[in-house]
Amino acid sequence: MEIYIDNRSKGDLSGEMIGMIEETVNKAIEVEGFKLDFEVSISIVDEEEIKNLNNTYRNKDSITDVLSFPMYEDDDLEPVLLGDIIICMQRAAEQAGSYGHGLEREMCYLTAHGMLHLLGYDHMGSEEKTEMRSKEKKIMEKLNLQR
């Protein structure tokens, strides 16, 4: 297992927060029962970068909190390249304040959300959304970061 974390934001990414993000990746893998060796890349970016990525890849000219770029294909190659997660630190901080919890919890939630996208989940339809939210809740409970 390899988890690559790149902080390109202006915010400080403490060793504790890096550890919490890595733990979130591991809990998502555990909840999903994923047994293969894997690699995932997580980039922490500023609002300008995530807005540009959102515009380029989703044709949405707006800032968002998290983007996921799945790469996993069911083949025999290991380690499996699950994909990339891009998190906007400023948006995470704003949302943490709005929801009344800490930045660490919000960063873990966005990591869990992104991991589930990399593992094939989506939330376009109501059934898909319910299933994905249930998985997010399980991950957050395993981290002892439930609401």
Token pair, residue 82, equals: 């699950």
Tell whether residue 101 is among the known ligand binding residues.
Answer: no
Residue 98 buriedness (CB in 10 A; 0-12 / 13-18 / 19+):
exposed
117 known member of a binding site: yes
CA-based torsion, 69, 107, 3, 116: positive or negative? negative
SS3 119: coil
* Helical segments of the chain, H only: 15-32, 47-58, 89-99, 103-118, 126-142
CB half-sphere exposure, 25, CA atoms < 13 A: 21
Name the binding residues: 113, 117, 123
Name the binding residues for Zn(2+): 113, 117, 123
